[in-house]
């Protein structure tokens, strides 16, 4: 029943002589939210950067929908349906929500050579998307991003990834610096994305947030995967904390759910 979407195999990454990733293998299935945990410097960010095209792995291979792919730039990743959402950085704050959603894929009306923006259509689709992602407040699509809260910005980025058929949405610390209500909002957006068939990799320092939404937890420690099939429904937070900091953890290694 599990349908494998992305598989990173034997990924190793050196920065000069410093090894950031050591033979990491990670799979994400369709419609699955994977929580990626680990202490500072454990290699979470590097692993995600390899998958999103921000850095290239020293060795190892990546498969998307069973096909081996080469991801050298963020554009490569986006074309493969892998979208990474960093807090704030992915949006142009001066532009409206609708213009951000359609940036680079603008809807055009009228004679082709004019490239006249179809702002009415973009605003309409944006309005629907904001509802779909779970924003209940009535925010006009023409609102500039700069007027939105941190959580709302995350929602816009998630909505954009959903609309442009990103199969895998990577959220890097999406709940950092957010208040309680905002955090619940973002977690709801993530669940909505999953329910509409998207996969997510969810990275957060706060284990409680991860526990609330993910289907499976993967833990990295010093560049290695030390656990890759922790079920948040049957495991305690304390136990996961032990795994992250380095307590005995053998029981979680080696039998990730296989596709098929």
Partner 1 sequence: MADLPRRSALARLIAAPEFGPFVLLIVELAVFWSINHNFLSPLNISNTLAFTVELGLIALAMTLLMTSGEFDLSVGSVFGLTPVLMWTLFNSGATSLGVGFALALAVAAVVGIVNGVFVTRLRIPSFLVTLGMLLVVRGTALYITNGFPQRTWNAGGHGLARVLVGTFQIGDFRVYASLFWFIGASIVLGYVLTETKAGNWILASGGNASAASARGVKVARTKMYLFVLSAMMSGFAGVISSIRTSAANPNSGTGYELEVIAMVVIGGTALTGGRGTIIGTVLGIFILRVMRNGIVLIGVPGLAYNIFVGAIILGMMVLHYGLEHRHREGA
Rule CB under 8 A: say whether 116 interacts with partner 1: yes
**Binder of partner 1 out of 69, 95, 121, 253 (CB under 8 A):** 95
Site for partner 1 in 199-238 (CB under 8 A): none
Q: How far, in Å, CA of 65 to CA of 81, rounded? A: 10
Q: Does 121 bind partner 1 (CB under 8 A)?
A: no
Q: Interaction with partner 1 in 49-78: which residues (CB under 8 A)?
A: 74-75, 78
Decide if residue 93 touches partner 1 (CB under 8 A).
yes
To partner 1, the closest distance from the beta carbon of 197 in angstroms equals 22
Q: Select from 58, 64, 70, 55 the least CA-distant residue to 26.
A: 64
Question: Would you count residue 127 as binding partner 1 (CB under 8 A)?
Answer: no
147 lies in the site for partner 1, by CB under 8 A: yes
Contact 193, 171 (CB under 8 A): no
**114 or 180: CB nearest partner 1:** 114
Farthest CA pair distance, the chain: 66
253 binds partner 1 (CB under 8 A): no
Among 99, 198, 216, 221, binds partner 1 (CB under 8 A): 99
Rounded to 5°, angle at Cα 211 from 131 and 184: 30
Q: What are the C-alpha distances in Å from 89 to residues 86, 92, 128? A: 6, 8, 24
Task: Dig out the tokens for 231 from the structure.
Answer: 């079920």
37, 206 Cβ separation under 8 angstroms: no
DSSP bridge partners of 6:
28, 64
Choice between 147 and 237, CB closer to partner 1: 147
Q: Say whether residue 117 binds partner 1 (CB under 8 A).
A: yes
- Token pair belonging to 76: 């490569």
Q: Based on CB atoms, which residue is closest to partner 1, 70 or 146?
A: 146
Q: To the nearest whole angstrom, how small is the minimum distance from the Cβ of residue 135 to partner 1?
A: 10
Q: Minimum Å distance from CB 142 to partner 1?
A: 7
Would you tell me which residues interact with partner 1 (CB under 8 A)?
Answer: 74-75, 78, 89-95, 99, 103-106, 108, 114-117, 119, 137, 139-140, 142-144, 146-149, 152
């Amino acid at each position: 029943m599990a349908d494998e979407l992305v598989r990173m195999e034997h990924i190793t990454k050196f920065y000069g002589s410093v090894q950031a990733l050591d033979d990491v293998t990670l799979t994400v299935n369709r419609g699955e939210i994977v929580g990626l945990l680990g202490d500072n410097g454990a290699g979470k960010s590097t692993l995600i950067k390899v998958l999103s095209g921000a850095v290239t792995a020293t060795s190892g291979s990546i498969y998307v929908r069973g096909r081996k792919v080469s991801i050298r730039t963020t554009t490569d990743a986006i074309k493969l349906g892998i979208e990474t959402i960093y807090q704030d950085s992915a949006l142009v704050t001066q532009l409206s929500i609708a213009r951000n959603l359609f940036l680079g894929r603008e809807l055009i009306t009228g004679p082709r050579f004019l490239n006249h923006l179809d702002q009415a259509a973009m605003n309409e689709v944006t309005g629907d998307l904001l509802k779909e992602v779970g924003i209940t407040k009535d925010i006009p699509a023409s609102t500039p991003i700069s007027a939105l809260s941190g959580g709302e910005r995350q929602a816009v980025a998630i909505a954009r990834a959903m609309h442009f058929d990103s199969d895998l949405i990577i959220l890097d610390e999406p709940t950092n610096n957010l208040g309680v209500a905002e955090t619940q909002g973002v977690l709801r957006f993530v669940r909505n994305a999953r329910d509409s068939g998207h996969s997510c990799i969810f990275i957060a320092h706060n284990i409680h947030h991860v526990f609330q939404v993910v289907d499976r937890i993967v833990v990295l420690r010093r560049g290695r995967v030390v656990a890759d099939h922790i079920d948040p429904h049957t495991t305690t937070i304390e136990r996961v904390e032990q795994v992250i900091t380095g307590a005995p953890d053998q029981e979680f290694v080696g039998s990730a759910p296989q596709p098929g």
